[in-house]
């Protein structure tokens, strides 16, 4: 099967009139790099890694210093630990059973030998915990998910939904891995709609116990990580039923609560009576994680096993809560579990960095075709390849700064318990998790394609990255559902604006949206096409926010119209695609604002110039992608749209000139990259040796 690049073909000197030569001439035109508006054309770039005069001088070390978080030392410690332990490194080919065993040993070694205490980190400094999660994800994404199940979900549910008695009993043993556990929320029939879960926990006042039951097969807990093999406990989400306390002496359903349920014997590891556990089997990816299905038949647990921060049952069966309604309690419960979404957004950026690094390094290394009688050129010198990879590289930088902002907000939420910050983090984490994981999933496939046939080799990582990361779009909240939460909150903020209310921090720009942004576009500025104007952060951010505000205003009007005939649910469904576009637009505005702020805050002038270039590409490529929206409302005139398109091509070329430094600045060790074609040096040599060829003597 041929895998040779089809960028062009060679012809002989006397074949100028042949189809091959005509194609070569067209290819030569394709290679002429774009110039910004008013500039001259540029010749084809030199060989890989060589920069043209006039380009920015990027210093990878200075970029790395600015990008590094304050917990880089902890990440380096994790990397070094696994690099020094070959028996804990995941091979390319591994049967599911062996992968699961290895994954548990990797986690146990992290805790018991490397001395990392993830639950303590999460409680003391969430930013350090997320840095560890990214590092272990570099070792094996299955390991990151297994660690996340143990600490973010099982441990997090105990410390966030429980009270002092639960922390005293469970915290240390969860942290040191003596109590491996699960997070049993999802059921066969319900995943996103948590309020419709069917598992029940009925209080028995005679024995002072809760009875956990699976009423039908649709209520079987499904996809529960750690359940198939290793878990000894599960946080089970179930409907709290109080006998005789409803109307007319009927049972009272108090809504969804969380309960600690032992599922295996602590000594023998045997499954406990009344509990049935089955293996969910081989998956598309993440086969180091043992997902299982749980069914409960009259399983009794002590009353103290109710995680009772938001609702409690006394010995006499009386229910108390500081929150007056089922909906308020449910919202508070889910609000405490946003750490999982923060972690997925954070880790997804790490996966994107690895994929982009491999693709860019290979594109710099790989040489295919060139002008007649001249050396072949780097694949990354082709405009089409720049178009694929350079905006993606810019997005990785944009997401890096957005995730840092999200983690800072999350840390503030955990310290202050401020209701407004909590609400802001809930929506921001929903939006960023959805947007970033969807973007990364698409980008991995583009990176694979951009590396041609060699990208299809398992050893070069794209298949594994794609399969392991794909589920990031689904768990911890389906991305489409999460975007609807963002849209719903925007509409709530919009409504409060007209009632004279205040807006939360991230949404502050909406204060002006019903005025400045919704006024008629200025016919003069709509035609401005100068490079200085287009690269002005104010123009870029105003354009993003204008689009969001128009979408918000128009969808609010549509919903109001359709509610009269379709009702609330029907109107929402009729406008659903509009609402999803609104949510994505808002999240893009947040991401750009954080990127612009990061550029301004950079203390080193040369590094700031490079980051400004990357930020401009991120912003203008996004505007060009949705140029139809701006043209439809005359925000951008035809001449300006054309100028934006040309400038995006030019900026992609400029970013290509510093692409090596930009990916090197991610500072991902070769032992974490692992793909031979993505190595910093001697990539081909490592690739050939990897399949069995020995280095030829010189």
Among residues 134, 336, 476, 588, which one is catalytic? 476
CA dist., res. 531 & res. 527, Å (int): 12
* Rounded alpha-carbon distances, angstroms, from residue 261 to 306, 387, 631, 691: 9, 52, 58, 49
Here the tokens at position 492 are 């709530």
Please state, in angstroms and rounded to a whole number, the distance separating the CA atoms of residues 105 and 82.
Answer: 12
- Distance in angstroms (rounded) separating the CA atoms of residues 186 and 201: 16
Closest CA to 237 of 255, 251, 252: 255
Residue from 547, 628, 556 nearest 589 by CA: 547
Q: Is 221 left (phi over 0), alpha (psi -120 to 50) or beta?
A: beta
Displacement of CA 207 from its chain's centroid (Å): 46
Q: Which of 659, 661, 693 minimizes the C-alpha distance to 676?
A: 693
434 φ/ψ sector (left φ>0, alpha ψ -120 to 50, else beta) = alpha
Give kind and range of the element (H or E) at residue 428: helix 419-450
Binding residues: 186, 225
Binding residue ranges for FAD: 186, 225
**E strand segments, 252-394:** 252-262, 275-279, 292-296, 299-302, 312-313, 319-320
Task: Establish whether 476 is a catalytic residue.
Answer: yes
CA gap 618, 444 in Å, rounded: 18
Contacts of 129 (CB under 8 A, 6+ apart): 118, 121, 122, 151
Which residues carry out catalysis?
476
């Amino acid at each position: 099967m041929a895998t040779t690049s089809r960028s062009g073909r060679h012809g002989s000197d006397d074949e100028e009139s042949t189809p091959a030569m005509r194609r070569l001439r067209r290819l030569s035109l394709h290679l002429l790099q774009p110039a910004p508006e008013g500039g001259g054309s540029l010749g084809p770039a030199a060989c890989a890694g060589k920069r043209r005069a006039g380009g920015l001088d990027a210093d990878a070390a200075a970029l790395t210093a600015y990008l590094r978080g304050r917990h880089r030392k902890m990440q380096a410690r994790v990397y070094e630990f696994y690099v020094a332990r070959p028996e804990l490194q995941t091979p390319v080919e591994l049967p599911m059973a062996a992968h699961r065993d290895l994954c548990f040993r990797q986690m146990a070694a992290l805790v018991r030998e490397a001395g990392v205490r993830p639950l303590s980190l999460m409680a003391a400094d969430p930013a350090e915990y997320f840095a560890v999660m990214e590092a272990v994800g570099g070792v094996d994404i299955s390991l990151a998910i297994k660690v996340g199940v143990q600490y973010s979900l099982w441990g997090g549910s105990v410390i966030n939904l429980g009270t002092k008695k639960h922390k005293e009993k469970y915290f240390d043993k969860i942290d040191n891995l003596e109590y491996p556990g699960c997070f049993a929320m999802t059921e066969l029939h319900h995943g996103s709609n948590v309020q419709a879960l069917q598992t029940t926990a009925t209080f028995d006042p005679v024995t002072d116990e809760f009875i956990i039951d699976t009423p039908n097969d649709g209520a079987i807990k499904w996809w529960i990580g750690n359940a198939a093999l290793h878990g000894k406990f599960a946080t089970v989400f179930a409907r709290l039923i109080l006998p005789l306390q409803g109307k007319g002496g009927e049972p009272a359903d108090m809504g969804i609560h969380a309960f600690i349920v032992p599922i295996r014997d602590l000594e023998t590891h045997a499954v406990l009576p009344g509990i049935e556990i089955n293996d969910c089997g081989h998956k598309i990816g993440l086969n180091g994680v043992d997902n299982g299905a749980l069914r409960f038949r009259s399983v009794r647990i002590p009353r103290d096993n109710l995680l009772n921060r938001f609702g409690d049952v006394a010995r006499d069966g009386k229910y108390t809560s500081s929150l007056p309604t089922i909906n308020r309690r449910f919202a508070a419960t889910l609000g405490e579990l946003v750490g999982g979404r923060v972690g997925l957004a954070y880790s997804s950026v790490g996966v994107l960095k690895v994929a982009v690094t491999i693709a860019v390094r290979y594109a710099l290394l790989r040489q295919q075709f060139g002008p007649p009688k001249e050396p072949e050129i780097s694949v990354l010198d082709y405009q089409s390849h720049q178009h694929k990879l350079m905006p993606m590289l810019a997005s990785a930088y944009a997401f890096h700064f957005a995730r840092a902002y999200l983690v800072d907000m999350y840390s503030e939420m955990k310290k202050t318990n401020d209701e407004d910050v909590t609400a802001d983090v809930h929506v921001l984490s929903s939006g960023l998790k959805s947007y970033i994981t969807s973007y990364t999933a698409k980008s991995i496939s583009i990176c694979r394609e951009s590396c041609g046939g060699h990208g299809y080799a398992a050893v070069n990582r794209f298949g594994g990255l794609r399969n392991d990361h794909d589920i990031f779009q689904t768990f911890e909240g389906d991305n489409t559902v999460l975007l609807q939460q963002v849209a719903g909150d925007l509409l709530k903020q919009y409504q409060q604006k007209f009632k004279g209310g205040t807006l939360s921090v991230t949404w502050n720009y909406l204060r002006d949206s019903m005025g400045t942004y919704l006024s008629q576009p200025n016919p003069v500025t709509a035609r401005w096409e100068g490079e200085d104007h287009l690269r002005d952060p104010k123009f870029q951010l105003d354009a993003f926010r204008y689009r969001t505000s128009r979408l918000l205003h128009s969808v609010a009007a549509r919903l109001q119209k359709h509610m009269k005939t379709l009702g609330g649910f029907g109107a929402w469904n009729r406008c659903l695609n509009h609402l999803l576009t609104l949510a994505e637009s808002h999240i893009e505005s947040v991401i750009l604002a954080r990127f612009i702020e990061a550029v301004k805050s950079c203390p080193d002038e040369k590094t700031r110039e490079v980051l400004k270039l990357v930020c401009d590409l991120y912003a203008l490529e996004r505007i060009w992608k949705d140029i139809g929206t701006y043209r439809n409302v005359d925000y951008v005139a035809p001449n300006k749209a054309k100028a934006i398109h040309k400038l995006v091509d030019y900026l992609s070329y400029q970013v290509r000139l510093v692409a090596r430094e930009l990916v090197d600045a991610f500072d991902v060790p070769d032992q974490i990259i692992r793909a031979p074609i993505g190595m910093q040096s001697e990539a081909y040599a490592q690739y050939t040796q990897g399949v069995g060829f020995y280095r030829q003597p010189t």
